[in-house]
Amino acid sequence: MPSFAFDYSQWREQLTAYLPAQVRTLIQGASGRDLVKKIETSFLLFDNKIVHLESREAVELKGNGALSITAACAELLTGFSADQRKECAAVLLLPANFFVATTTTMPGVAKENLVSALKIQADSILPSLEVPLSLAINPLSATQGDEHLALWMTESTLSDLFDAFAEKDIFLAAVKPRFMNGNSEDANDGNDKSDAKTRILDVDAETETCVVIEDSILKSLFHVRKQDLQQEVFQQQWQETLKRDSSESAIELDNVSDYFSRLDVQANQEYCFFPHGALNATRRTAQGKQYIAAAAVVIAALFIAAVPFILQSLEFRSLASTLEMQRAMASDARQDQAAVVSFENEWGLISDFPEQRLREAMFTLQNILRPDTLTSMEVSEGLIKIQGSSNEPQAILQRLEQDPMFTEVVFSRATNNQRYYIDLRISTVNFEGYMVRYFPDE
């Protein structure tokens, strides 16, 4: 089961490496840079001693494992409370023998994809290491050529160190090769030579390490045990290497005191190794801040979206108040209006009865029908039925249609040349409207 977990972790990391740079940043976040910014304490492993660079105190190691290193670091922080230890992020500066360096040729790889490309090829670059590895490299190496020098460290070592530090209530934020802090003094002195080519010779009781850093990029790394230098062949090869990598700016670190002034953790931070536990803690903190920010944005958006409704509600209340005031002021007028409506309802049936203007209608008919004879006339609700005798009934119909006093003029029955039967209405009488208004159900 543990091997499956390791394989799954490595498979997940390689799968993430295939994603575009923007998507990887969105998923993984920039927690490594965030961790470096939090570092306040630096521990240095040198000649079987752990040195607290800020206080310059040292403690001898009682073993070689992560527990021994952690115990020594905890002893150096005896003046700190448990809460202070948890809040104080630490970096552990280790010698070169904790890391593996590889040089890989990868032409045409962009700086955004360099780290992912190396992680994908980790199995072929280091086939003898069948455990998950953590990588450190400056992506800017892709801008200066096709050969890239990378540092590797087993994730198990990182996890063991982080867990051991956590048991002592110390937050281990990063692990870094100590020689990568070698040129940090220049930045502190205000003479920024990070772009210059610098050779650093790191020498302790057991090993010697020679590195060349140019433009904050690790260009070369050579590491040898002093025991091997006792052989003349190795000694000669080592001296030739030192001469070949000679530089105008050379720094030799052969004593603990040489590191006291080199406390700039920001220097060469691309070569820091970050334990998964530290990254997860930072991501949880960042996610918490993101959730708070997102909640604030949502609340603000909801408030902005609700502003029109709030304004509408206030306006509605104002209009309702104004309406009540207007109603109170118009109460007398409404009472008068109600009296008028009541009067109209009671007397309108009589007063609005259509005036049929029969006198005018009869005089008009007399003028139109002359000299023909009118024998019968009926009037009902504005409808007039007439009959009589005439030699030209059609002419009578036409004269009636042309008179503006009459409308809807038609023959009501069959007409011959002697008799006519005509229905017509008085145009000014609207009995239908009267009936609809006062007798709608009939």
pLDDT digits (tens, 9 = 90+) for 390-426: 888 888 888 888 888 888 888 887 777 778 888 888 8
C-alpha–C-alpha distance, residues 171 and 39, integer Å: 9
pLDDT at residue 277 is higher than 50? yes
| pLDDT score at 182 | 73
> What pLDDT, on the 0 to 100 scale, is given for residue 190?
46
Q: Six-digit token pair at 238?
A: 């080592």
- Note the maximum CA span of the chain: 159
- For 351, the enclosing helix (H) or strand (E) is helix 331-351
The domain defined by 358-438 carries CATH number 3.30.1360.100? yes
Q: Give the burial string for 195-230 (b: 16+ CB within 10 Å, else e).
A: eeebbbbbebeebbbbbbbbebbbbbbbbbeeeebe
Chain CA centroid to CA 266, Å: 30
- Do residues 183 and 161 touch, judged by C-beta distance below 8 A? no
Per the model's pLDDT, the better-predicted residue between 428 and 42 turns out to be 42
Res 92: pLDDT: 92
How far apart are the C-alpha atoms of 286 and 27, rounded to whole Å?
A: 12
Q: Tell me how far apart the alpha carbons of residues 284 and 118 are, in angstroms, rounded to a whole number.
A: 27
Mean pLDDT of the chain: 80
Q: Residue 34: which of 272, 352, 196 has the closest Cα? A: 272
Query: How far are the Cα atoms of 94, 111, 128, 184 from residue 263, in angstroms, in the given order?
Result: 14, 28, 35, 7
Residue 362 clears pLDDT 50, i.e. is over it: yes
Looking up tokens 């070592």 gives: 157
Distance CA 125, CA 104 (A): 8
Rounded to 5°, angle at Cα 244 from 241 and 246: 105
Query: What is the model's pLDDT at position 6?
Result: 43
**CB 147, CB 218: distance < 8 Å:** no
Q: Give the count of beta carbons closer than 10 Å to the beta carbon of residue 265.
A: 24
At 1, the pLDDT band (50, 70, 90 cuts) reads: very low
Q: How far is residue 165's CA from residue 302's CA, in Å, rounded to a whole number?
A: 45
Residues 387/411, Cβ–Cβ less than 8 Å = no
Question: Which residues have a Cβ under 8 Å from the Cβ of 168 and sit 6 or more positions away?
Answer: 70, 71, 73, 74, 85
Quick check: do 2-191+254-274 and 358-438 share a fold?
A: no
pLDDT at 435 over 80: no
Give this prediction's pTM. 0.59
Please state which of the ranges 51-60, 267-276, 285-294, 373-382 shows the lowest mean pLDDT.
285-294
pLDDT of residue 285: 58
Question: Where in the chain are the domains?
Answer: 2-191+254-274, 358-438
For residues 359 and 344, give the distance between their C-alpha atoms in angstroms, rounded to a whole number: 28
Q: Which helix (H) or strand (E) holds 122?
A: helix 122-125
**Two tokens, residue 41:** 């304490």
Asked if the model's pLDDT at residue 191 lies above 60, the reply is no
Q: Are the beta carbons of 58 and 51 closer than 8 angstroms?
A: yes
More confident call, 388 vs 342: 388
How many Cβ atoms sit within 10 Å of the Cβ of residue 236?
A: 11
Report whether pLDDT(231) > 80: yes
Q: pLDDT tens across 2-13, in order?
A: 444 444 445 555
**Architecture of domain 2-191+254-274 in CATH?**
2-Layer Sandwich (3.30)
pLDDT 10s digits, 21-57: 555 545 554 467 778 888 888 899 998 899 998 888 9
Q: What is the pLDDT of residue 93?
A: 92
Instruction: Pick the range with the lowest mean pLDDT from 42-51, 155-164, 249-258, 343-352.
Output: 343-352
* Averaged pLDDT, 89-103: 90
Tell which residue, 98, 209, 104, 74, has the closest CA to residue 155. 98
Cα 221 to Cα 151: distance, rounded to the nearest angstrom:
10
Distance CA 251, CA 245 (A): 12
pLDDT more than 70, % of the chain: 85
Distance CA 438, CA 440 (A): 6
3-state secondary structure of 220: strand
